[in-house]
């Protein structure tokens, strides 16, 4: 059975609103357990799968998420396109809190994460092309859907993937800016690379929760502000997905 879309929800998106005829599937995978049950259901008459990346109670830190198991489970259930929803900090001037963006590049600063399926003895090593880290088809579809839904989304930007779970120092963000990053988040990698290894059309919908360290005029980044901004940005996600599937 194929699914029309799978969505991996990030911070602030633990359930997909409006899913009907819901069935929860708890899968084991050769890579261990996914972050939780995959929720299968119908949305606007289409088949959609949803998985909360950090677990439904947000108990998994970014470096502890089993990205391989998550993507493998979704692929196994028939997902051929996956939209990762990721909370991020904004670096570039137009990536302001509550903005939504569909990045087109990545720089990976994470470390110690298992970042490939070619990581087992006896398994043939695959060197995927990753020049364009996101799927062109799904990126274009998401941007077109956002336009139809009347939701403003920034087209493009470079996602800097940091290790977390702490937020970055000002110096780290200044370096990311010099490197060309426009957004910073903790979960974009290895998710995108693993999706490519599985042949999944994968795109990221980034929700800007805060100005990254040193980018706004605040001395410190407050969690209340992050959650308020994320709640506002998250409310736009089902509108985009409804247009995407409509």
Return residues touching ligand HPA (CB under 6 A): 87-89, 162, 167-168, 184-186, 209-210, 212
- Residue, CB closest to ligand HPA: 89
d(CA 143, CA 152): 9
Min dist CB 230 to ligand HPA, Å, is 8
Q: Are 107 and 175 spatial neighbours (Cβ–Cβ below 8 Å)?
A: no
Min dist CB 232 to ligand HPA, Å, is 14
Any known ligand binding at 1?
A: no
Any known ligand binding at 212?
A: yes
Min dist CB 52 to ligand HPA, Å, is 16
Q: Are 110 and 163 spatial neighbours (Cβ–Cβ below 8 Å)?
A: yes
The nearer residue to ligand HPA, 73 or 101, going by C-beta atoms, is 101
The nearer residue to ligand HPA, 79 or 183, going by C-beta atoms, is 183
Which among 173, 31, 10 is positioned nearest to 113, based on CA atoms? 31
Q: Are 104 and 182 spatial neighbours (Cβ–Cβ below 8 Å)?
A: no
Enter the tokens of residue 154: 């920034």
Any known ligand binding at 186?
A: yes
Any known ligand binding at 189?
A: no
Any known ligand binding at 169?
A: no
d(CA 40, CA 16): 10
The nearer residue to ligand HPA, 26 or 169, going by C-beta atoms, is 169
The nearer residue to ligand HPA, 142 or 167, going by C-beta atoms, is 167
d(CA 160, CA 137): 22
d(CA 24, CA 209): 29
Cα 188–Cα 37–Cα 232 angle in degrees, nearest 5:
50
Which among 88, 48, 84, 57 is positioned nearest to 191, based on CA atoms? 84
The nearer residue to ligand HPA, 77 or 186, going by C-beta atoms, is 186
The nearer residue to ligand HPA, 34 or 188, going by C-beta atoms, is 188
Min dist CB 233 to ligand HPA, Å, is 11
Any known ligand binding at 54?
A: yes
d(CA 93, CA 182): 9
Min dist CB 215 to ligand HPA, Å, is 9
d(CA 33, CA 208): 29
Min dist CB 136 to ligand HPA, Å, is 25
Residues placed in the known binding site for substrate:
186, 210-212
Residues placed in the known binding site for phosphate:
11, 53-54, 187
């Amino acid at each position: 059975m194929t699914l029309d879309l799978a969505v991996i929800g990030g911070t602030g998106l633990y359930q997909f609103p409006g899913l009907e005829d819901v069935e929860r599937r708890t899968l084991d995978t050769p890579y261990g357990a996914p972050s939780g049950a995959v929720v299968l259901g119908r949305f606007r008459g289409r088949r959609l799968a949803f998985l909360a990346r950090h677990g439904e109670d947000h108990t998994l830190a970014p470096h502890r998420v089993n990205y391989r198991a998550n993507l493998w489970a979704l692929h196994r259930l028939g997902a051929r396109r996956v939209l990762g929803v990721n909370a991020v900090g904004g670096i570039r001037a137009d990536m302001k809190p509550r903005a939504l963006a569909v990045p087109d590049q990545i720089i990976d600063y994470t470390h110690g994460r298992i970042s490939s399926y070619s990581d087992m003895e006896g398994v043939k090593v695959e060197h995927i092309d990753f020049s364009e880290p996101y799927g062109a088809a799904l990126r274009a579809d998401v941007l077109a859907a956002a336009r139809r839904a009347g939701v403003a989304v920034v087209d493009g930007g470079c996602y800097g993937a940091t290790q977390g779970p702490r937020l970055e120092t000002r110096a780290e963000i200044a370096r990311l800016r010099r490197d060309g990053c426009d957004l910073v988040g903790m979960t974009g990698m290895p998710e995108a690379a693993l999706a490519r290894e599985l042949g999944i059309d994968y795109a990221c919908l980034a929700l800007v929760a805060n100005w990254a360290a040193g980018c706004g005029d605040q001395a410190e980044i407050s969690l209340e502000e992050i959650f308020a901004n994320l709640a506002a940005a998250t409310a736009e996600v089902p509108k985009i997905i409804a247009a995407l599937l409509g």
